[in-house]
Structures are given as C-alpha cells and as structure tokens.
Structure 1
Amino acid sequence: MRFFAGAFVLFAVMAVSGASEAQQRVAAVQQKQPEQTWPQDAELKGDYPRGAIVINISERRLYYSLGGGKALVYRVAVGKTGFGWTGQSWVSQKTKNPAWYPTARMQAEGAPDYVPPGPQNPLGVRALYLGWTEYRIHGTNAPHTIGSASSSGCFRMLNADVTDLFERVAIGAPVYVVQ
C-alpha cells in the first residue's frame, strides 16, 4: 500500500506541475522499489566450509557459505516432481554465456538439439556445471519460474544472481543438495 499512496502523491504533484501522462507513468514506475533484493545475509545451519554451496530443495534457496554459520542466500527454481535430487557434488566448470545441448530425453520431448548463447537460451548468462553430471546451477530466460519446482533437475537463478554467485564461487567448490 505504501507504493500506491506514494504514487498517488507523486501523480498529484506531477499533474499540478504540468508533467505529461507519460512522464507521470515513468516517474511512478521509478518510485517502486523491490520488496527484497538478493542475495541476502543469512544464517546457515550445519558445518559447511567457506565457499561451499548448499541448496535447500524445500526452501528453494541456495546458500553460499561465508563460513562460521553465515551465508549469502539466493532464491532458486528446483527440479519438478520426479526430477529433483539430493546429494553432494562440486563445481567442475564455470561458463559465461553458455550454449545449451538438451539431453536425449529433452529432445524426445521436443527440445532442439542445440541453443546458442543469447536471450532465448534457457541457461541464461552463466552456468556452473556440477561434477560429472548433466546438472547445473544456471541463469534463466524464464525469471517467473524462480521459487518454483519446474526444472529437469538443474537449479535456476535470476541472471543477476547467478552472475553474482559466478564471481564468488571457485571451481572445485563443494555443492550440497539437501531436502
């Protein structure tokens, strides 16, 4: 409600000052602030080393361990029913602007055999490959899916968030996927 009250006052002031309708709309949009920004500081339960990634499936959160029970937390999309997994892995590769090669199973369901880097690529702007598997922590071209169980086992992040994480995490960092 705070945004609407503030926008009303802003519209009233701009209307009196003679601002055009388009200027009023732009100003109102600029006044709206996001409810939360990510990553956020968080407590991390468990004894995880500094630099580790902990993905909590039920919370749909990814924690980057700062050590000492402290972490940065990001929102993620997780595997849909039948595609989720738990266990331990590691960051085996980091790629900027990755190409996407869907699995044979995905291709059988209609996915193309290759998607080049760019705005149509489901991996977004960064990918962290996990161990020996086809699973990744990556960006997305579908930001509305963040916070849902909708992937084929990968962990999707907003492109800004995966870019932030990409700069922090080292190749070889342990990754823990917990329920």
Structure 2
Amino acid sequence: MALLTLEDAKAQLNTKSDVDDTELQAYIDSVTAVIEEFVGPVEPREVTEQHDAGHGRRVLVLRTMPVLSLTSVTPLLVGGVSYPVDGLVLDEESGEVRRRNGGSFRGLLQVVEQAGRLSVPSTINLAARMLVQHLWRTQRPSRGGGLAGGGDDYSVASPIPGFGYAVPNRVLELLQPYRLPPGVA
C-alpha cells in the first residue's frame, strides 16, 4: 500500500508522458513525510518507543498514532518485567495501553507497535495528489508565462513552522479530519 502512486500523481497532473517519471517519483516520495507530519503514519510500519513507567504507571500513552496493534512491551533493564500483549488493552484511538488486570507498569520499557493505517483514506490520497501538484507547479511555469500565484486553492496564507509555504491551504483543509492531537508525533 502506498500513499500515492506514480499513476495517481500523473492523473492529478493530467500527463501521460513518462519523460519526467524519475523526477516526479522524487516528488511523490517527498510528500509522504510532509503528509505524515500532520496525520501520523499512513503506510503501516513497525515503531519502537521507550517509556519510563518509573515506580508505577497505570497507563502508557503511545506517541506514534494511529496505532494498529501492539507487538511487545519489554523491559530495557535486566531484571525488569515483561508484559505479554494478550494481557494488555490498547485503545487504538487514543494510543493508551492498560493492563487487563488493572495493574501498573513499572520501569523503563520498550514498546514495539504497528502504526499506520490498513488503507489510505481517499481524502489523504487527494491531499497528497494536490501537494505534489502544488510542488510541481513551482518549477513548471503556467501557460501564461509565470508561476501561478496567490488567490487560488494553492495559496498559502502564512508559513507553517518547519514547512514554510510548501503546504497550501487546500491540502491542510483536506487533512484536518485526520490531524494528530497536539503533542502527538
């Protein structure tokens, strides 16, 4: 499963030519990180996190969302306690992990999870298509002879920290229903 295929991007750009395929693929590859900054992992992947449960914590809150499943919760220090996954409850929406028996987690833990989505929502795919189109336009002059500028769906009202003017308003609006809560990366 891919966030965006070469065929998707070419359809968005209304091109059938394969002359620019290599360059276009570089654009496609680059937008995944941008989209995932706003919505979390799209393509399923294994993620490893460290959590310090100290002397007792009833809930671990995973930092990578969305979460598909837990693989393991093991101690990082010799003599620590492992927590079998079948004894844990994962709230996939919030990323909260609790012990089934109501007990606490203890110590420095390594949590391995599967994060991402089972399928790419069509709205996220469309946002990725539009982002490729926006970035592609910055180096391809419009038929009028200049770069397409503000006032259209690709305008950017203000720079976004870490991205400048690379992400247009229309893309942000499409991603809004899938945005990560503040503080989740």
Please state which band the TM-score falls in when normalised by the shorter chain: under 0.3
| Larger helix share, 1 or 2 | 2
| Larger strand share, 1 or 2 | 1
**Taking structure 2 as the reference length, what is the TM-score of the superposition?**
0.22
- Structure scoring higher RCO (CA < 8 A, sep ≥ 6) equals 2
- Higher gyration radius (CA): 2
